[in-house]
Amino acid sequence: MASQQLSLLDVIRTERSSPRGQALRPPFFSDLPLVAVTVVLTFFGLLMLYSTSGVLAQEKFGDALYYLRRQSVAALLGCAAIVALSRLRISWLKRISPALLFVSFGLLLLPLIPGIGVEAGGATRWVNILGIRFQPGELVKILFVIFIAGYFSRREGKVQHFLHGVAKPLFLVGCVGVLYLLQPDFGSTALVLLVTLAIALAAGVKWQHFLLSGAFCGVALVGLVFASPYRVRRLLSFLEPSADASGQGYQLIQSLIAVGSGQVSGVGLGASQQKLFFLPAAHTDFIFAVISEELGFLGAFTLILLFGVFLWRGLRIALRLSHDTFGFCLGIGMTLLIVAPAFLNMGVVLGLLPTKGLALPFLSYGGTSTVVGLIAVGILLSLARESMERYQGRASR
């Protein structure tokens, strides 16, 4: 009787070799933990945005839901993008990747065109086309990562040469960075550079070349800081905020007050005092300070943990495609486009880093950044689906 019974392994092998097993397809979303953490971050962001911006919106527009309503529309558009992009074939992105460099240049030039560019807060990062206002620089981050992943894929056998592995990519980043700095947008320049260096390392450039280029880029960024009196003042206020407590150091001081007031469990949802016009940019770059004040260390730590889960799932998806240079580099890049600004933003709010003007993904107010962040998730889900299909294809043979 026992000899007639099939083992579980035999059943699995029979199922895979059968027509039914070969017809198996990945689920609609191929990485449910990534979807779950994205949904939680997005809904939590909407909740905290309302808590943070309600008083300000009522004061400025006579509508406490003004910011929440606009952010909700962006979140819905982003969710639609996730559904669409999660079914996208990565091979198509690889084919169009060379053209995306020129598209990036064109988008970054748009804010500099009179009549199209919109100035706000001393920067010209927005455009207004047919009544639609958005930040082209946010979309460029996605496009440039796709381009640079395609670049390393096309030069897979040459990445250990200094010219192809380091010099050319850094030159292209420099071209994009110049257009960012004309807006000016130092934070995006630094982020694109950081992600490009990480992708180069993932693609297999030599450690010597990587360290040399990293040192060069560090010197270049420091030079850019000291070339701008405004950035120098920001750096000095970071080092000693109390020296100019009513000027450049004011925002950091108010942020630290908010974080400290939260203690372990927070003052309660909606009970923040710093958001009542004490903390500038509370609903954008410094929303993490309000989260820390209202939900305390526990809330802040939970948020950090959620981004940690996002990092884990994103890297796991990328590692599944380690045999495919394009997919691997694209997965690393998309993951870092979300996680890197998140931790940089929280570092700024906690006084660990100088102010850089980077939003907290999925939480800070900003329609374009929200949509772009969800687009990155859609591409990651497409990579997850691709890896699962390849695995099932190998298993069925």
pLDDT tens track for 73-112: 999 999 999 999 988 889 899 999 999 999 999 999 999 8
Averaged pLDDT, 345-358: 86
pLDDT of residue 392: 60
User: Residue 275 — φ and ψ, nearest 5°?
Assistant: -75, -10
pLDDT of residue 129: 83
User: What radius of gyration, in Å, describes the C-alpha atoms of the chain?
Assistant: 23
Q: Check whether 13 has a pLDDT greater than 60.
A: no
CB 274 within 8 A of CB 258: yes
Q: Pick from 365, 368, 370: which is nearest to 338 by CA? A: 370
* Residue 243 neighbours by CB under 8 Å, 6+ apart: 236, 237, 249
Distance, in Å, from the CA atom of 35 to the CA atom of 41, rounded to the nearest integer, reads: 10
Distance, in Å, from the CA atom of 127 to the CA atom of 235, rounded to the nearest integer, reads: 29
What is the spatial order of strands in the sheet that 117-120 belongs to? 117-120, 123-129, 132-134
For the chain, the farthest-separated pair of C-alpha atoms sits apart, in whole angstroms, at: 86
Q: Pick from 377, 383, 379: which is nearest to 317 by CA? A: 383
- What percent of the chain stands above pLDDT 90? 54
Sequence-ordered strand ranges (E) for the chain: 117-120, 123-129, 132-134
**Amino acid letter for position 278:** F
Distance, in Å, from the CA atom of 393 to the CA atom of 397, rounded to the nearest integer, reads: 7
Q: Check whether 394 has a pLDDT greater than 50.
A: yes
Q: Check whether 12 has a pLDDT greater than 60.
A: no
pLDDT of residue 2: 45
In this structure, the chain runs to a length of 397
The model's pLDDT over 222-275, given as tens digits with 9 standing for 90+, comes to 887 777 777 777 777 777 777 777 777 888 899 999 999 999 999 999 889 999
Q: In this structure, what token pair is assigned to residue 61?
A: 């527009």
pLDDT of residue 217: 84
Q: In this structure, what token pair is assigned to residue 184?
A: 């000016």
pLDDT of residue 17: 45
**Amino acid letter for position 297:** F
Average pLDDT, the chain: 86
Q: Check whether 28 has a pLDDT greater than 70.
A: no
One DSSP character per residue, 331-359 reads: HHHHHHHHHHHHHHHHHHHTTSS------
Q: Pick from 259, 255, 267, 256: which is nearest to 295 by CA? A: 267
pLDDT of residue 293: 96
CB 287 within 8 A of CB 360: yes
- Give the CA count within 13 Å in the CB-facing half-sphere of 27: 6
> pLDDT band for position 125 (50/70/90)?
confident
Distance, in Å, from the CA atom of 376 to the CA atom of 174, rounded to the nearest integer, reads: 23
User: Residue 263 — φ and ψ, nearest 5°?
Assistant: 50, -130
CB 194 within 8 A of CB 187: no
Distance, in Å, from the CA atom of 213 to the CA atom of 201, rounded to the nearest integer, reads: 11
Averaged pLDDT, 315-333: 93
pLDDT of residue 29: 67
CB 321 within 8 A of CB 387: yes
How many other CB atoms are there within 10 angstroms of residue 110's CB atom?
17
Q: Check whether 7 has a pLDDT greater than 70.
A: no
- The sign one gets for the Cα dihedral 301, 80, 185, 129 is negative
